[in-house]
Amino acid sequence: MPRKQNPQPTEQAPFVLEPGIESRLLGNSKTSPSILPLELRGLSWKADGLPLIKDISCTFEAERRTIIIGPNGAGKSLLLRLCHGLIEPYAGKVVWHGANGRNPSRYQAMVFQRPVMLRRSAEANVAYALKMRGVQRHERRHLVEEALARTGLAHLAGQSARVLSFGEQQKLALARAWALRPQVLFLDEPTASLDPAATHAIEEIINAMHSAGTRIVMVTHDLGQARRLADEVMFMYRGRLREKAPAETFFAGPKNDLAQAFLRGELLWWRRRSGECRVDL
C-alpha cells in the first residue's frame, strides 16, 4: 500500500507570531535544542505486583513518526505514559539525552484516547494549556488563534468545548497540543472512536505537526493508519517490545512471528493457548 507523504500543514495563510514567543516560551526543536533522543533503559512497570511492562529498552531518535502497535493488553498505552512521565517506572529509566538539565516534560504533549476538555470554551481550553506553560496572557491569543486555525476549529473558538462532537474535541486536543509547540507528541489511539473522515482530518493534523518539527509517538490499533503514518513501527506483545523496525521493513515482513501473526489478523492469544507460539513469552 502506498504511504502518504506528509501533507502541508494547512492551506491557510501562515500565521505570524510575535517575534521571540516560540523560542522564549515553547519547545519547538527549530528554536530550542531538542530533548531527544529518548532512551528507555530496562523499563518495567507493575500493577498490584503484576508485571505489565517488562524490561523494555530502546531509543527514539529525532524527526520520525513512531507507531506502536500490538493487541489489547500489550502495554502500549502504559509505555506512552511511562515515556511522558505520567507514571513512574518500577524499574529502569526514561532518559532524555538532549534535556541537559531542562525539565523534559515542558517540551512534550500528549493526546489521549478520550479527550478531556475543561468546562470552558474551545479557545479557553487551548489558552489554559499555554497558561500552565507560563505563557503570558497577551501572548496566548496569537498562539490560540493559530492552533485553532491550523486544526480547522477557528469557527468554534467561542463554543463550549463540552458541546463539541467527539471528533471536534479530539481536534481541539490536538490544537491544544499544537499551541504548546511540543518537541515530542505522544498520542494514545487518538482516532479510536472516529469515523473515516474525522480520522483523516486528525491524521492530517498529526502530519502537519510532524512537518512543523514535532516528533510523533503514537499508539494505534488501526493497521491502515500505521501504514499511512509510520516511519518506524514498534510491535508490543504482553508487556514486551517484540520488534522495532522501519515501517517499510516491518510491513514488508516482520521478523517476529507474533508480529507476523498480528499483521495477518490472527488472534495471538489463541496461538499461545494452542501452543503454536514459537517465541519465549
Q: Residues in contact with another protein, total (CB under 8 A)?
A: 21
Choose, by CB under 8 A, the member of 17, 31, 112, 221 that binds another protein: 112
Q: Report the residue number, 70 or 104, with the smaller CB distance to another protein.
A: 104
Choose, by CB under 8 A, the member of 105, 145, 200, 222 that binds another protein: 105
Shortest distance (Å) from residue 77 CB to another protein = 10
Q: How far apart are CA 118 and CA 14, in angstroms?
A: 28
Q: Is 118 in the site for another protein (CB under 8 A)?
A: yes
Shortest distance (Å) from residue 207 CB to another protein = 22
Shortest distance (Å) from residue 163 CB to another protein = 4
Q: Is 109 in the site for another protein (CB under 8 A)?
A: yes
Shortest distance (Å) from residue 156 CB to another protein = 13
Choose, by CB under 8 A, the member of 65, 76, 133, 240 that binds another protein: 133
Q: Report the residue number, 9 or 182, with the smaller CB distance to another protein.
A: 182
Q: Residue 203 in contact with residue 180, Cβ under 8 Å? A: no
Q: Residue 246 in contact with residue 65, Cβ under 8 Å? A: no
Q: How far apart are CA 240 and CA 257, in angstroms?
A: 14
Q: Is 128 in the site for another protein (CB under 8 A)?
A: yes
Select from 152, 147, 210, 148 the least CA-distant residue to 179: 147
Shortest distance (Å) from residue 161 CB to another protein = 8
β partners of residue 69:
235
Shortest distance (Å) from residue 135 CB to another protein = 11
Q: Is 47 in the site for another protein (CB under 8 A)?
A: no
The radius of gyration of the chain's CA atoms, rounded to the nearest angstrom, is 19
Q: Is 160 in the site for another protein (CB under 8 A)?
A: yes
Choose, by CB under 8 A, the member of 16, 19, 119, 158 that binds another protein: 119
Q: Which residues have a Cβ under 8 Å from the Cβ of 149 and sit 6 or more positions away?
A: 10, 12, 15
Q: Which residues of the shown chain bind another protein in the complex (CB under 8 A)?
A: 81, 84, 86, 105-106, 108-110, 112, 116, 118-120, 128-129, 132-133, 160, 162-163, 176
